[in-house]
Amino acid sequence: MDFKLLMVFVDQDRTDTVLTAAREAGATGATIINNAQGQGLKPQLTFFGLEFMASRSVILILVEARRAESVLNAVSTAGKLDESLDTGIALEIEVSKALGLTEHIKALSKERPLD
């Protein structure tokens, strides 16, 4: 079975919305890294002239390759990723090898087929 890793970088207040959309689109789970920080295209300065970096979540979703596109589209829509420069990004990475998934693969084989 082939897998892809989806990485979603989104404001923490959108994390639950993104996770719900991912599950509805066929994802079976995710790992969330909270309180991540980063810099965008332009720094956002506070009134003291310091750079403001809002807390972000990094959501890692290992998904069966056939489900990857629908999950990626769902998280993009739910996270409103294409609405402005600072809403976040999502990307897909090929997974050449994954271990510890024997029981997951059995469960996926019993689940509903792809639409």
Phi, psi of 75 (to 5 degrees): -70, -30
The domain limits of the chain are 3-110
User: Cα(first)–Cα(last) distance of the chain, in Å?
Assistant: 18
**Structure confidence by residue, pLDDT tens digits, 64-104:** 899 999 999 999 999 999 777 677 899 999 999 888 888 77
**Structure confidence by residue, pLDDT tens digits, 2-22:** 899 999 999 888 999 999 999
pLDDT of residue 87: 78
Distance CA 22, CA 67 (A): 10
Distance CA 67, CA 71 (A): 6
What CATH number labels 3-110? 3.30.70.120
19 Cβ contact partners less than 8 Å away, ≥ 6 residues apart: 30, 32, 59
> Of residues 98 and 37, which shows the higher confidence score?
98
- Is it the case that residue 54 has pLDDT exceeding 80? no
Q: Region 32-58: what's the mean pLDDT?
A: 74
